[in-house]
Amino acid sequence: MAGLIRNRVFLQTFSSRRGSKFSVRHLKMALLSSLRTQGLCGALYYTGTRSISSGSLHIKDSLNFWSGGRVSLKDVETKCEPVYEPATGRVLCQLQACGAADVDAAVRSASAAFTVWSKLAGMERARVMLEAARLIERREEIAEIEVVNNGKSITEARLDVDSARLCIEYFAGQATTLSGQHVQLPGGSFAYTRREPLGVCVGIGAWNYPFQIAAWKSAPAIACGNSMVFKPSPVTPVTAVLLAEIYSQAGAPEGLFNVVQGGQETGSLLCHHPSVAKISFTGSVPTGKKIMEMASRGVKPVTLELGGKSPLIIFEDTDLENAVRGALMANFLSQGQVCSNGTRVFVQSSILPQFLKEVARRTKAIQIGDPLLDETRMGALVSKPHLDKVLGYVKQAKKEVQGARVLCGGEPFVPADPKLKDGYYMTPCVLDGCTDDMTCVREEIFGPVMSVLSFDTEDEVLRRANDSALGLAAGVFTKDVKRAHRVIENLQAGSCFINNYNITPVEVPFGGYKASGIGRENGQVTIEFYTQLKTVVVEMGDVDSLF
């Protein structure tokens, strides 16, 4: 999925901006009142000091939100599921999953909001969205809570919150540009088109970018006049409700953005609900197929941002230092838990030894530990089962008939801090001697595991790079401009990079080919996926009837 490192220009722009008094005041109202109810009585807007430390946060308030506020489920039979803090392995909170009555209440709330919101002018919607973006500018509290629930480093979490803000700002601008087409017909008659909202949209998020994905799905939807019911992953349910409160404080009508918690059953209820007009999902290919099947029963459009096993091709004429940095960014962001990661690293044989030496040295130097510390570059994986799964892939790679060679990493890691001893950590891994038929090369591992493969010719590497059922992303490192564009043209992937990787400006579309998904997120084209086109023919003369 999605989301990833931001464009340097935007980072520089953000660092130079100052939040207004209005932003600070509303952030307190939108975020900190809820933080206090969760046990953070001393938390204030960011003042340069850490307000949360790993193992200190206990969340008690409800994480469901509709009709303008948090909702505690009344059904005493509702089963609660524990939510864990990856850094420490302790229980962070208990999750109440929404049943049929709860989902229906949230959808009805969204329907009521749609009636009001869809009638507003684009400029009126944009004002609310820009205010929401301003409230997010004071990002530290959101980023810290994201870290506690997800395990990624605070440095990355800040960039994710930036991306969420920039996305809302971008689509606020798009809200003012929605327009149709005028077509002149014979005899003075004419036709025109109207781009109209769909209605209640459902967003289903993934656990690797919880807050950012909630923004990436809601911003284009509400910019077009829709409302949304959003279901976060049950593994990372905490920060989506903060976005709901931000929209509310920004002036959105009650029910514009709602949050329902739960797993597969809750997601199924949303997909089958007769009042839902569209579904946007980020997650695995198998789940995406199920959602597409459920949506087809109601002939509902879907946006699917699914998995990847993306190739990163490094030619011998590249700037080797730059290529190594790119390979690290393509594999180890968010502990390797990024759908677009370039985990199949094809290196031209003439530079393979130098590449392996440098990439292993740099990988060994990655600082693992408390994700809330600024110096940490790799935090904890999202859950114990997922950690075990990723470690299992490394063990299997070594057992293959002509097994991969582990240059570094691939082992459980225990930080020195005693409070982190039960966290879900591992050392980032580089595998050499990989072949195209190995499981670690064919399947999406979704962890910090880089598989390095050797190649000799351009035609050869293109054939091998495209030999996958997935096609989310791809990258090329070379100084030959003609080769770069030629190779990119022939790669079967939707999001491609030349001499960089995992850069996702919100102004450009993100999405994949083949089994990696349908539709796009971000960029102007996304408007088409959250609207429907109405054609109107206007006759200025008499009806020319055959009867």
Classified as helix, coil or strand, 29 is: helix
Give CA–CA dist 160/452, Å, rounded: 28
Instruction: Say if residues 168 and 220 touch (Cβ distance below 8 Å).
Output: no
- Pick the more confident residue, 111 or 8: 111
Say which residues have a Cβ less than 8 Å from residue 74's Cβ, sequence separation at least 6.
none
Give CA–CA dist 230/262, Å, rounded: 11
Paired with 116 in beta bridges are none
Paired with 279 in beta bridges are 202, 302
CA 233 from chain centre, in angstroms, equals 11
Give CA–CA dist 335/447, Å, rounded: 6
Give CA–CA dist 379/154, Å, rounded: 9
pLDDT at 48: 41
Q: Which helix (H) or strand (E) holds 209?
A: none
Instruction: Kindly give the residue spans of alpha helices, DSSP state H, lying in 139-194.
Output: 140-150, 154-175
Say which residues have a Cβ less than 8 Å from residue 470's Cβ, sequence separation at least 6.
285, 306, 307, 308, 309, 310, 444, 512, 514, 515, 516
Tell me the pLDDT band of 389, cut-offs 50, 70 and 90: very high
Angle at 184 (CA atoms; ends 181, 187), nearest 5 degrees: 155
Paired with 44 in beta bridges are none
pLDDT at 328: 98
Q: What is the DSSP letter of 436?
A: T
Distances from the Cα of 373 to the Cα of 83, 370, 499, angstroms? 22, 6, 30
Arithmetic mean of pLDDT over the chain: 91
Structure token pair of residue 314: 């490094």
Instruction: Say if residues 243 and 214 touch (Cβ distance below 8 Å).
Output: yes
pLDDT at 45: 34
- 305 given a catalytic annotation: yes
pLDDT at 30: 39
pLDDT tens, residue by residue, 335-357: 999 999 999 999 999 999 999 99
pLDDT tens, residue by residue, 518-529: 999 999 999 999
Tell me the pLDDT band of 486, cut-offs 50, 70 and 90: very high
Tell me the pLDDT band of 403, cut-offs 50, 70 and 90: confident
Say which residues have a Cβ less than 8 Å from residue 290's Cβ, sequence separation at least 6.
none
Give CA–CA dist 209/206, Å, rounded: 7
Residue 489 has pLDDT above 70, yes or no: yes
Give CA–CA dist 40/93, Å, rounded: 14
How many CA atoms, within 13 angstroms, populate the side-chain half-sphere of residue 169?
16
Give CA–CA dist 469/236, Å, rounded: 28
Instruction: Say if residues 258 and 285 touch (Cβ distance below 8 Å).
Output: no
pLDDT tens, residue by residue, 162-183: 999 999 999 999 999 999 999 9
* Residue from 305, 458, 507, 539 carrying the catalytic annotation: 305
pLDDT tens, residue by residue, 60-102: 999 999 999 999 997 656 678 999 999 999 999 999 999 999 9
Crossing angle for the helix pair 122-136 and 210-223, nearest 10 degrees? Answer: 160
Tell me the pLDDT band of 1, cut-offs 50, 70 and 90: very low
Question: What sign does the dihedral 435-437-442-448 (CA atoms) show?
Answer: negative
pLDDT at 77: 61
pTM above the 0.85 mark?
yes
pLDDT tens, residue by residue, 110-162: 999 999 999 999 999 999 999 999 999 889 999 999 999 999 999 999 999 99
- Pick the more confident residue, 17 or 422: 422
Give CA–CA dist 516/306, Å, rounded: 5
Residue among 370, 447, 1 nearest 154 (CA)? 370
Classified as helix, coil or strand, 202 is: strand
Tell me the pLDDT band of 390, cut-offs 50, 70 and 90: very high
pLDDT at 394: 96
pLDDT at 74: 79
How many CA atoms, within 13 angstroms, populate the side-chain half-sphere of residue 181?
6
> E strands along 232-371, which residues?
257-259, 276-282, 302-305, 311-314, 344-348
Strand order in the sheet with 449-455: 405-408, 429-432, 449-455, 344-348, 311-314, 473-477, 495-498
Taking phi over 0 as left and psi of -120 to 50 as alpha, with beta for the rest, 214 belongs to alpha
Paired with 475 in beta bridges are 312, 497
Paired with 456 in beta bridges are none
Q: What is the mean pLDDT of residues 13-29?
A: 35
pLDDT tens, residue by residue, 239-292: 999 999 999 999 999 999 999 999 999 999 999 999 999 999 999 999 999 999
Residue among 85, 90, 141, 161 nearest 379 (CA)? 85
pLDDT at 27: 38
Give CA–CA dist 252/186, Å, rounded: 44
| Residue percentage of the chain with pLDDT more than 90 | 87
pLDDT tens, residue by residue, 208-236: 999 999 999 999 999 999 999 999 999 99
